[in-house]
Amino acid sequence: MRDLAMKIHQFIQENWGKGRVPTIDGVLFSDGNIWSFDYYEVKHRGVWGNFVKIRDKNPSVLDFNSGFAEITRLGYVSNIEHSVIYSCGEGGFGGDGYVAWQYNS
């Protein structure tokens, strides 16, 4: 299992290095685990609102065949003391934003 987790991590990092992220609705972790979300618009007493629910069964990136989107980094902050870079941006579809942090060795 550890070998599989390492391969998934490498696969994700290779695509990140090429400026690509998977097109999923959720949070992707470097080990391939995903917190997937369902999004609803609801109307209550005449007022529209948004509702986001984390799915009960959270899949692995291996369960998706959704492809990858090219990213555009829109901003970043470097924390030199901890050698970390925080960045955010959007994917090639415009509505698929991302937030990421990576260690800068």
Say if residues 14 and 30 touch (Cβ distance below 8 Å): no
- Taking 70 as the pLDDT cut, the residues of the chain under it are 1, 56-66, 93-95, 105
Assign residue 31 a region: left if phi > 0, alpha if psi is -120 to 50, beta otherwise?
A: alpha
Say if residues 90 and 75 touch (Cβ distance below 8 Å): no
Alpha helices (H) along the chain: 2-17
Q: Please report the pLDDT score of residue 39 as a whole number.
A: 77
Burial 39-72 (b: 16+ CB within 10 A, else e): eeeeeeeeeeeeeeeeeeeeeebeebeeeebebe
What is the tens place of the pLDDT at every residue in 1-21?
577 777 777 888 888 889 888
Q: Please report the pLDDT score of residue 1 as a whole number.
A: 57
Q: Please report the pLDDT score of residue 64 as a whole number.
A: 66
Q: Which two tokens stand for residue 97?
A: 């934003």
